A and B are shown apart, each in its own frame.
Chain A
Amino acid sequence: MVFILLSIVFVVLRIMPGDPVSSMLGGHAPESVIEQKKEALGLNRPIALQYLHYLWQICRLDLGDSMVFKQRVTKAIAEKIPATIELTICGILITLFLGVFLGAYAADRRGMVQDYVIRLYGIVVYCIPVFWMGLMLQLIFGIWLDMLPIAGRTGPRVFASTFEKTGLYVLDTILVRDFSALGDVLIHLVLPAFTLGLVLSGIFVRLTRANMLDVLKADYITAAEARGIRHRKIVYKHALKNAFIPILTMMGLQIALLMAGAVLTETTFSWPGMGRLLLERIYLRDYPTIQGVIIMIALIVAMASLIVDIIYAIVDPRVRY
């Protein structure tokens, strides 16, 4: 399936009207120069050969060179990926916390006002465009209340080079024990992560609620109640743990949405990640890099379902024994 995705990427990126090389060279370059460049880039070979070359390159993890800058695409992506990973992970955490707890609470208070409000939240929140959410949060917390930063990963007085190791700044600052830098990094994460996390939480609220309603009808819940176990413990420990497993599976399927959301969030918050790279290069018509990023995303999405299966096996004892 990954294979098909990669093929689709290949096709999509070659369908544009017009000639990429001539536009890259400025539109008025002489024919000979254009032909030369095309030859160098291998664009004159038959399409089938280009396709095979493309697949071969991916296997070697060689994503080519940027058309615009003097850099290897792989390197360009590698520089930006940690930022996206950090953002995405924080987003996932927020989505899960919000979604799962609100969903469980709604299931517990079924039929009451809180239930309806939370269900409404679930519907509405998903319909709020990620970027608008980002802009509004920036407006409220960044401009009006002036509490949180609205752009970048670090503030003006913090230099990433002093601690950068893995690229995951939260991790890096902890490793070098630079806690003031850690604070700065965290505070820059707040708004973007919330933007990403809030919008997707709607889905999880509804999923959790639906699963919880089913689980709460189960016999073992009644049996636990019959043993005098307190209600809150039953809902948030016994029931939730059982409802959680299908939610986890769902998480894997949402990676695609997360990636999409990340692109929009990064643009809005000037977050130096893969998403923003993608857009930058689209404006610059740097096709190899564009292709590289999209391939990377396809691979990440494919990997995600694999990871979910592994986590599933860890959490559910019925699978293990």
Chain B
Amino acid sequence: MRYSPAAGIGWVISRCAGLGKKYGLEWWILVAGAIIILAIVSMALFAGSIAPFSPYDQDTGPQLAPPGGEHLMGTDNLQRDVWSRIVHGSRTILRVAVLAAIISSVLGITLGLISGFSGGFFDRVLSLVMDSVYSFPGLILAIALAAMLGPGVINITLSVAVIYIPTYFRLVRGQTLSIKEELYVEAAKAIGASGSTILWQYIFPNVIATTVVVFTLNVADAIMIEAALTYLGLGLPPSIVDWGMDLSMGKKFLPSGQWWLITFPGAMISLLAVGFTMLGEGLAEILNPRLLER
């Protein structure tokens, strides 16, 4: 039997409403975040079809035209369509932020698990290093790295990724340490489970829940750092379409009042970050209400 798309949507909505009643506000925050993210991800995926012009096309219309008519968000000084640049820019920022978060999490979680589990000298040294990096302003570290490594998507992704490794490390290590002491782990050891079994089958699943929340918030943060780096002119060559860079280019025209050049890119950055934050916060409250006591 075939279900019509309308029925499908109706089912999703009713499920959402049901969970909403159960969890209250937090659930709606999560949903709101998810919707925002989905919208922007779709924008990124279908950029070619959505954008009316190519983001590089320097002849789409009059120079510095205000929003209206053909150009939803106006044009810039090189006669490019701002809306098209926004649409394509979503790809860059999502790519960098998500990839950086993945790299961070994989490295951070792995190191955290190993360090927490094995303890000893290795653990102590690594913790010290991680704590030091953690206490240092992430952005400034990223700036230094990006400046040293030079422009490029890979480089900027790495710069952003490095900053968050300590976050995952600390979180996972802490949890590993406390789970290690739990009775059921002792029981497992007693029946002869090997170190790696305990690590992957007992500790890891417990750690996952909090990690997912941190991951979403990490992406939100990474978005902000990526935008900051490109705004400062570090990290990406001008040939790549990016919101942060558009902001820095649009800055020049601020005194002459061409507000659309900075308003839209900045708003998009904020929106995307808000989306991930809402998703993360909503998730945190639902998975464990007292989890993030910030």
**Chain A residues packing against B (C-beta within 8 Å):** 1-2, 4-5, 8-9, 12-13, 15-18, 116, 123-124, 126-132, 135-136, 138-139, 143-144, 203, 206-207, 210, 253, 256-257, 259-260, 263-264, 267-268, 278-279, 282-283, 290, 294, 297-298, 301-302, 305
Q: Are the CB atoms of A5 and B136 closer together than 8 Å?
A: yes
Q: Are the CB atoms of A129 and B224 closer together than 8 Å?
A: yes
Q: Which of B230-289 contact A (CB under 8 A)?
A: 231-234, 247, 251, 254-255, 257, 259, 262-263, 266-267, 269-270, 273-274, 277-278, 281
**Chain B residues packing against A (C-beta within 8 Å):** 25, 29, 128-129, 131-133, 135-141, 143-145, 147-150, 220, 224, 227-228, 231-234, 247, 251, 254-255, 257, 259, 262-263, 266-267, 269-270, 273-274, 277-278, 281, 293-294
Listed A/B pairs (6) with beta-carbon separation below 8 Å: A116-B25, A127-B273, A253-B135, A278-B143, A279-B232, A294-B144
Q: Are the CB atoms of B270 and A127 closer together than 8 Å?
A: yes
Q: Are the CB atoms of B255 and A290 closer together than 8 Å?
A: no
Q: Are the CB atoms of A267 and B232 closer together than 8 Å?
A: yes
Whether A123 touches B281, Cβ cut-off 8 Å, given contacts A1-B135, A116-B25, A136-B266, is: yes
Q: Are the CB atoms of A203 and B294 closer together than 8 Å?
A: yes
Q: Are the CB atoms of A139 and B259 closer together than 8 Å?
A: yes
Q: Which residues of A contact B224 (CB under 8 A)?
A: 127, 129
Q: Are the CB atoms of B228 and A282 closer together than 8 Å?
A: no
Contact residue among B25, B131, B149, B269 (Cβ-Cβ distance under 8 Å from A17): B149
Question: How far, in whole Å, are A4 and B130 apart by their CA atoms in the complex?
Answer: 10
Q: Which residues of B contact A126 (CB under 8 A)?
A: 277
* Nearest CB of chain B from residue A76's CB, rounded to whole Å: 17
Q: Are the CB atoms of A256 and B144 closer together than 8 Å?
A: no
Question: How far, in whole Å, are A136 and B270 apart by their CA atoms in the complex?
Answer: 12
> From B251, which residue of chain A is reached at the shortest CB distance?
A135
> From B248, which residue of chain A is reached at the shortest CB distance?
A131
Q: Which residues of B contact A260 (CB under 8 A)?
A: 137-140
Q: Are the CB atoms of A129 and B137 closer together than 8 Å?
A: no
Q: Are the CB atoms of A135 and B262 closer together than 8 Å?
A: yes
Question: How far, in whole Å, are A16 and B270 apart by their CA atoms in the complex?
Answer: 32
> From B225, which residue of chain A is reached at the shortest CB distance?
A260
Q: Are the CB atoms of B277 and A1 closer together than 8 Å?
A: no
Question: How far, in whole Å, are A301 and B136 apart by their CA atoms in the complex?
Answer: 7
Q: Which residues of B contact A297 (CB under 8 A)?
A: 136-137, 140
Q: Are the CB atoms of B277 and A282 closer together than 8 Å?
A: no
Q: A1-B132, A12-B145 are in contact. List 15 more A-B contacts (CB 8 A).
A: A1-B128, A5-B133, A9-B144, A15-B149, A16-B148, A16-B150, A131-B228, A136-B262, A136-B266, A138-B254, A207-B294, A256-B135, A260-B140, A297-B137, A297-B140
Question: How far, in whole Å, are A12 and B163 apart by their CA atoms in the complex?
Answer: 13
Contact residue among A5, A127, A203, A210 (Cβ-Cβ distance under 8 Å from B293): A210
Question: How far, in whole Å, are A189 and B227 apart by their CA atoms in the complex?
Answer: 25
Question: How far, in whole Å, are A203 and B269 apart by their CA atoms in the complex?
Answer: 19
Question: How far, in whole Å, are A130 and B231 apart by their CA atoms in the complex?
Answer: 11
